[in-house]
Structure 1
Amino acid sequence: MRPLTADSLRGVWATLLLPLNADDSIDVGRLETQAATLATTELDGLYAHGTAGEFQTLTEAEFDQINEVLAGAGKPFQIGASHPSAQVQLDRVRRAAAREPGAIQVILPDWLPLNDGEVLAFLGRVAETAGEVPLVLYNPPHAKTPVGPHLLSTLADAVPSLIGLKTAGGDKAWFDEATKSGLSIFVPGHFLASMSLLGAHGSYSNVAALSPNGSVRRARDLDVERRIAEFFGQHVVPLQKAGLSNPALDKFLAAVGNWADVGTRVRWPMTSATQADVEAARPAARRLLPELFEDSW
């Protein structure tokens, strides 16, 4: 597809989630069905290999297999080449670039924190490897090396192919500084409505896990955002406090939305949500958020 730019990287994008068999192998048939379903939605595009995609658990053969499904879905797509090892990640970037995605998402190497010079050295090498495919920096709150808004401008100037940032966002002062970088700022789906008012441009959306079309149609609805927070407070936060990971929570949301057969199983040793958790949450989701479920997806 045509490479994205900082100006064209916009909207609501959804991740592919891993449907797993009882032995933790990927059910490719269910993955293909999920991708085909998402391709018919109003989403701006699809991506793979973020946190919710359990990228750190994948073999290199699985990484390539998922990319083939993603690229064949017929929807604009981005590939996450992330890996805790810089060396493995560089090889994933090389293979991802050959698929000609709209962008490649990367994380900073994640065992030891990097200083600013090391961040620049890493992104410079990755950009050189990616060639004409632009980069999006994936920098969630649990990243070992947090990138503040001032450093963003330095990175954007030094690495012209860096077009976007996945972040938790911040307050008005944070956005005022971050948007000076000229990068496209993507935030969590359940904060997109309010953070759009501060300068956010889109979301790699957890709300899309609950309802792909609803996440697009209600992306800027502040009242729906308030009620999403109420639903999360009742049914997501308790699971989070019980120790469930973000991949487990996104699969839980997909099971509550019931738009594809993803399942709640996450890879060992992470803990999965239960079917009882899902059944308890479904009535609340439809009562609090009827706008998200106006059609089957």
Structure 2
Amino acid sequence: MKTLKNKEIYGNWATLLLATNNDGSVDYKRLNDEIDILIASSPNGIYSNGTAGEFYSQSEQEFLKVNELLALKCEKAGVPFQVGVSHMSPQISLERLKLIRHLRPGQCKLFYPTGFRLHWKKV
């Protein structure tokens, strides 16, 4: 996927909700079906791991598998996608960014924890 510029991120972006089993584990079958339904609805793009994606509760393995599935399906369908790399720990956010670089999302999203002081020269 090519990197998206700000002006290319417009319209209706679908939110990938995290499908879970009764025990709290990720239900990859339902997630797979959900991505197919979202793609069929012809959104301008799909994004994962926002607040509705339970980004804070995923293990790194789950995070990677969810986004690999999204990337595979979006690439095949030609649908742009974004990946949220947020976590309460800035170190984990950075690790998540490193984990998904090879997926080449159009953009990555990052929510900073409330009260987290940014050093703009480092950002």
The answer to whether TM tops 0.5 is yes
Describe the SS at the equivalent of 1:14: strand
Matched, 1:80 2:84: yes
How much has 1:114 moved relative to structure 2? 3.2
Q: Which amino acid aligns with 1:90?
A: L
Describe the SS at the equivalent of 1:120: coil
How much has 1:90 moved relative to structure 2? 0.4
- Report matched runs for 1:61-210 at 5 Å: 61-74=61-74, 75-108=79-112, 110=113, 113-115=115-117, 118-121=118-121, 124=123
Which residue of 1 is the match for residue 55 of structure 2?
55
How much has 1:119 moved relative to structure 2? 4.6
Higher helix content, 1 or 2: 1
TM-score (norm 1): 0.39
Describe the SS at the equivalent of 2:115: coil
Contact kept in structure 2, 1:97 and 1:104, CA below 8 Å: no
Describe the SS at the equivalent of 2:12: strand
How much has 1:42 moved relative to structure 2? 2.1
Deviation track 1:191-248 (CA, whole Å, cap 9, x = no partner) reads: xxxxxxxxxxxxxxxxxxxxxxxxxxxxxxxxxxxxxxxxxxxxxxxxxxxxxxxxxx
Contact kept in structure 2, 1:3 and 1:103, CA below 8 Å: yes
Runs (4 or more) in structure 1 with deviation over 3 Å come to none
Contact kept in structure 2, 1:35 and 1:73, CA below 8 Å: yes
Which residue of 2 is the match for residue 251 of structure 1?
none
Contact kept in structure 2, 1:82 and 1:89, CA below 8 Å: yes
Matched, 1:16 2:16: yes
TM-score (norm 2): 0.90
Q: Unaligned regions of 5+ residues in structure 1, if any?
A: 125-297
Q: Which amino acid aligns with 2:116?
A: L
Query: 2: CA distance between counterparts of 1:119 and 1:42?
Result: 39
Contact kept in structure 2, 1:96 and 1:104, CA below 8 Å: no
Q: Which amino acid aligns with 1:37?
A: I
Query: 2: CA distance between counterparts of 1:86 and 1:72?
Result: 27
Query: 1: CA distance between counterparts of 2:93 and 2:27?
Result: 24
Aligned length: 119
How much has 1:121 moved relative to structure 2? 4.6
Q: Comparing both chains, which one has the higher relative contact order based on Cα–Cα distances under 8 Å and sequence gaps of 6 or more?
A: 2
Q: Which amino acid aligns with 1:15?
A: T
How much has 1:88 moved relative to structure 2? 0.6
Identity %: 36
Q: Unaligned regions of 5+ residues in structure 2, if any?
A: none
Q: Which amino acid aligns with 1:105?
A: K
Matched, 1:35 2:35: yes
Describe the SS at the equivalent of 1:98: helix
Q: Which amino acid aligns with 1:2?
A: K
Contact kept in structure 2, 1:49 and 1:82, CA below 8 Å: yes
Structure index of larger Rg: 1
Q: Which amino acid aligns with 2:44?
A: D
Shift in alpha-carbon separation, 1:107–1:119, aligned structure 2, 3 A: farther
